Amino acid sequence: MNTTKSITERVFQALGFEGLALLICTPLLVWITGRPALEMGAVTLGISLLALTWNIIFNSLFDRLKARLQLANGGKTRVLHALLFEGGLILFAVPLIAVWLNISLVQAFILDIGVLLFFLPYTYVYHWGYDVLREKFLQQRAPEQA
């Protein structure tokens, strides 16, 4: 069974990840920051588009690394995946948040750490769930293609 995901599947996976995150994060950030919903919605959408792009690139690279190092899809690999993904996203997101909200890099970093506390477990659970559902889907399709 082919376990490599196509770019089309990566886009689908990333869109699902970001869409669900938008639905959860926008109202949460409005409540936490006290800023207007439209402003936080724009920030959330901007960060989401950044994260969507990063998600596609990162997951493609991580799949190659996983194959090269022969890493299993176990808990340690998923923790590594979540930490590396979110760490890379911080490098891109903090300056964007600072400029968009007209706050310092330190304030943007603190805000991003708060978001990260949500996204670390969310990233782990989402990708685990996606892989479980994908495996079941592929197993159901395998007899049809035989």
Structural domain boundaries in the chain:
7-145
Residue 108: Cβ within 10 Å count = 21
pTM for this model (two decimals): 0.65
Question: What is the Cα–Cα distance from 122 to 22, expressed in whole angstroms?
Answer: 12
Express each pLDDT in 77-127 by its tens digit: 888 898 898 889 899 999 999 998 899 999 999 988 888 788 889 988 999
Q: Report the C-alpha gap between 105 and 85 in whole angstroms.
A: 20
- Band of pLDDT at residue 133, cut at 50, 70 and 90: very high
